[in-house]
A = this chain, B = another copy of it.
Amino acid sequence: MPRFRHYSMLAILTLIVVRDAASQSSPPPLTEQYRAIADRLIDAATGDSAAWHKLARLTDRFGPRLSGSKALEDAIDWILAEMKKEGLENVRGEPVMVPHWVRGDESAELTAPRPQPLPILGLGHSVGTPEGGIEAEVLVVKSFDDLATRGAEARGKIVLFNVPFVAYGATVRYRTEGASAAARAGAVAALVRSVTPHSLSTPHTGRLLYDSAAPRIPAAAVTVEDAMLLARMQERGEKPRLRLRMGARMLPDARSRNVVAEIRGSEHPDEIVVMGGHIDSWDVGQGAMDDGGGCVVAWEALRLMKRLGLRPRRTIRVVMWTNEENGMRGAAAYRDTHRAAVDRHVLAIESDNGVFKPAGFAFTGSDAARARIAEVASLLARIEADSAAPGGGGADIAPLMELGVPGMSPIVDGSRYFWYHHSAADTMDKLDPNDMARVTAALAVMTYIVADMAERLPRAAGR
């Protein structure tokens, strides 16, 4: 017992010495400085379902928001007006010219061995079929390798890539590159099994990329169910045939805007913490998860600071990028418009993984910066969002990150993301008000503190 008491005294003395040294060389820990503010932001965000209801007003009223559509521009007008009403600063739409692809009427029908309508979604940027449609035998392949092996059979056929979902990055190649691969083998059209691990007869769209060296053939997604059906028919030697009609076409580029709103910094207004999502969506469902939700949580985080009268030392800027889904023109335009200020971007955050239950943040930047981020995240333990992992980013902030801006994204429960992604099932009912409130709280706390802390978030050496 005397030994224990002795050690204990020593430990306390040591602590005092260490702490004293720390207080001389740097300010008190972020957690001490900001705990009260973090708690106020968390309480405000989680005290009601405002984020969910705002997203419902937006997506119920305007529906899906494909680049070039009136719905997208009407939604942007409404958002800008609401932001102004809320007293946010420097609210503006920054012009961006975007691709304008339209789906038109489309249908597919099995014609042999028996007639059956097949739900499809044409792939974004696909050409249409000739007026009367295309009818041809189907060749089902399992992979690009399988197509290469069976190349001679593809001529004049509709090639279906029946590739099960493994991971998005691996499987989506068939959606993006399948049409041109099939065209090079002489196919007249291409179909892809929808990129999802779970289907209730639900097709999922997304963009294709035509290889300029291959003929442009029409391409659409079929359901997982129908891809498997056609594969079984082929295995039995039943030679399924299909009629495909697609009125898809590309119109001239259209005007759109990146939505911008700020709270200007009190000391370093030219230094910017930017956060947001993309306001465009595919043309089915409501674009609620992908990515109306990502836009609204950032917007709500800023509104809460305004409501609580919080003005950080640096500027916090919300951006809703346009045209993420089929062009990334908004991301490129933001970088170009703000090129001179890129070095004064302290941190860029994108929320585009669905506003599901958050666990923290993923961060790409220097180790020193990640240590600060981890400190801030520890203030989110109350809402179980205190992880700080490596690897954050997003399509719209990638151009900034390439120029050295640290990038970040919320870590969320992604288990159901691809069930809904790019489909008619991306609707409000898939999102939970409590989850959205927590993501809002996490973004508010993270951006406020990074924008307000005495020292700027360190960049990697030389960036």
Residues of A within 8 A of B (CB): 56-57, 60-63, 71, 113-114, 116, 119, 198-202, 224-225, 228-229, 232-233, 236, 238, 285-286, 419-420, 423-425, 427-429
Say how far A347's CB is from chain B's closest CB, in angstroms.
35
A225 to chain B: which residues have CB within 8 Å? 285, 424-425, 427, 429
Say whether A113 contacts B201, CB under 8 Å: no
Of the listed residues A60, A62, A119, A428, the one surrounded by the most CB atoms of chain B closer than 10 A to its CB is: A60
Say whether B424 contacts A119, CB under 8 Å: yes
Say whether B232 contacts A201, CB under 8 Å: no
A228 to chain B: which residues have CB within 8 Å? 427-429
Tallying the copies of this chain within the complex gives: 2
Say whether A114 contacts B63, CB under 8 Å: yes
Q: List the 8 closest pairs (A to B, CB-CB), nearest first.
A: A201-B424, A200-B425, A200-B200, A200-B202, A225-B427, A201-B425, A228-B429, A60-B232
Say how far A321's CB is from chain B's closest CB, in angstroms.
23
Not counting A199-B200, A225-B424, a sample of 12 additional A-B residue pairs whose C-beta atoms are within 8 angstroms of each other reads A56-B232, A57-B236, A61-B114, A63-B116, A119-B424, A200-B200, A200-B420, A200-B423, A200-B425, A201-B285, A229-B286, A229-B427
Give complex CA distance A191, B116 in Å.
Answer: 25
Give complex CA distance A205, B285 in Å.
Answer: 21
Candidates B116, B224, B429; contact of A429 at CB < 8 Å: B224
Say whether B424 contacts A60, CB under 8 Å: no
A63 to chain B: which residues have CB within 8 Å? 114, 116
Say whether A60 contacts B229, CB under 8 Å: yes
Give complex CA distance A201, B194 in Å.
Answer: 15
A61 to chain B: which residues have CB within 8 Å? 113-114, 238
Say whether B114 contacts A200, CB under 8 Å: no
Say how far A130's CB is from chain B's closest CB, in angstroms.
24
A423 to chain B: which residues have CB within 8 Å? 200-201
Give complex CA distance A228, B63 in Å.
Answer: 14
Say whether B60 contacts A419, CB under 8 Å: no
Give complex CA distance A60, B227 in Å.
Answer: 12
Give complex CA distance A200, B289 in Å.
Answer: 13
Give complex CA distance A420, B57 in Å.
Answer: 31
Say whether A201 contacts B233, CB under 8 Å: no
Say whether A428 contacts B229, CB under 8 Å: yes
The residue in chain B whose Cβ has the minimal distance to the Cβ of A227 is B429
